Structure 1
Amino acid sequence: MQIIAMLTMLIDHIGVIFYPEESFLRILGRLSFPLYAFALVRGYYHTSNMPRYLLRLAILAAVSQLPYQWALLDDGVNVVAALLVCLLALLSLDRFKHPAAVLGTIAGAALLLELLQFDYGYYGLALVLIYRYTRGEWQLLLHLLLNVAVAVEKGWAIQMFSLLSTATLLYTPQLYRSLDKVRVPRLLWLSFYPAHLIALGLVREIMLAAG
Structure 2
Amino acid sequence: MSRQSPSLTGSSLKKIAMIIMLIDHIGACVFERGLLLVDEMRNDAALFEMLRNTDRILRLIGRVSFPIFCFLLVEGFLHTHDRKKYALRLFLFALVSEIPFDLAIMGRLFDPVHQNVFFTLLIGLLAMMLCDYFRMQAQPVAQVLVLILAMVLAWALHTDYGYRGVLLIELLYIFRYDRMKQVVAGAVAFSWETTAPLAFIPVWFYNGKRGKSGKWFFYWFYPVHLLILWGVKTFLLPILISV
TM-score grouping bracket, smaller chain normalisation: 0.7 to 0.9
| Aligned residues of 2:147 and 2:170 also touching (Cα < 8 A) | no
Following TM superposition, the consecutive aligned residue runs of length 4 or more in structure 1 with deviations greater than 6 angstroms are none
Listed one character per residue, the Cα deviations across residues 125-161 of structure 1 (whole Å, up to 9, x for unaligned) are 111122212123322332233234xx3xxxxxxx131
Pick the aligned partner of 1:168 from 199, 202, 224: 202
Select the residue among 39, 53, 69 that pairs with 1:36.
69
Residues 1:80 and 2:122 aligned together: no
Cα deviation 1:20-61 (Å, max 9, x = unaligned): 432111111111111111111111011111221111111111
The answer on whether the counterparts of 1:15 and 1:26 sit within 8 Å (CA) in structure 2 is yes
Q: Please state if 1:202 is matched with 2:208.
A: no
Gaps of 5+ in 2: 1-12, 33-51
* Structure 2 equivalent of residue 2 of structure 1: 14
What are structure 1's unaligned runs of at least 5 residues? 152-158
Q: What residue is the counterpart of 2:44 in the other structure?
A: none
Could you say which residue in structure 2 is the equivalent of 1:16?
28
Match of 2:220 in 1: 191
Matches within 5 A, 1:56-71: 56-71=89-104
- Give the deviation of 1:184 after TM superposition: 5.8
Please give the alpha-carbon distance, in whole angstroms, between the structure 2 residues aligned to 1:57 and 1:136: 25
Q: Where is the helix percentage greater, Structure 1 or Structure 2?
A: 1
Larger Rg: 2
1:111, distance to aligned residue in structure 2 (A): 0.8
Is this contact kept in 1: 2:172–2:185, CA < 8 A? no
Q: Distance in 2 between matches of 1:185 and 1:168?
A: 19
SS in 1 for 2:152: helix
Q: Is the 8 A contact 1:144 1:160 kept in 2?
A: no
Equivalents in 2 of 1:70, 1:99: separation in Å? 42
RCO greater where, 1 or 2, for CA within 8 Å and sep 6 or more?
Answer: 2
Amino acid at match of 1:144: A
In angstroms, what is the RMSD of aligned CA positions?
2.0
Tell me, yes or no, if structure 1 residue 99 matches structure 2 residue 122. no
Give the deviation of 1:186 after TM superposition.
3.2
Q: How far has the Cα of 1:209 moved from its partner? A: 4.6
CA separation in 1, counterparts of 2:95 and 2:105? 16
SS state at 1:160 partner: coil
How far 1:102 moved relative to its partner? Answer: 1.8
Give the AA of the match of 1:163.
Answer: P
Deviation readout 1:142-198 (Å, 9 max, x if unpaired): 2233234xx3xxxxxxx131111112211x336x96xx75x3633322200000001
Identity value in percent: 32
Compute the TM-score of the two structures, normalised by the length of structure 2.
0.74
**Within the alignment, does 1:139 sit opposite 2:185 as a pair?**
no
Q: Distance in 2 between matches of 1:24 and 1:209?
A: 23
Task: Pick from 107, 123, 127 the counterpart of residue 168 of structure 2.
Answer: 127
Change (3 A) 1:144 1:5: closer
Residue 155 of structure 1 corresponds to none
Aligned residues: 197
Amino acid at match of 1:123: R
Deviations 1:83-118 (A, max 9, x none): 001000001111124233122211111111112110
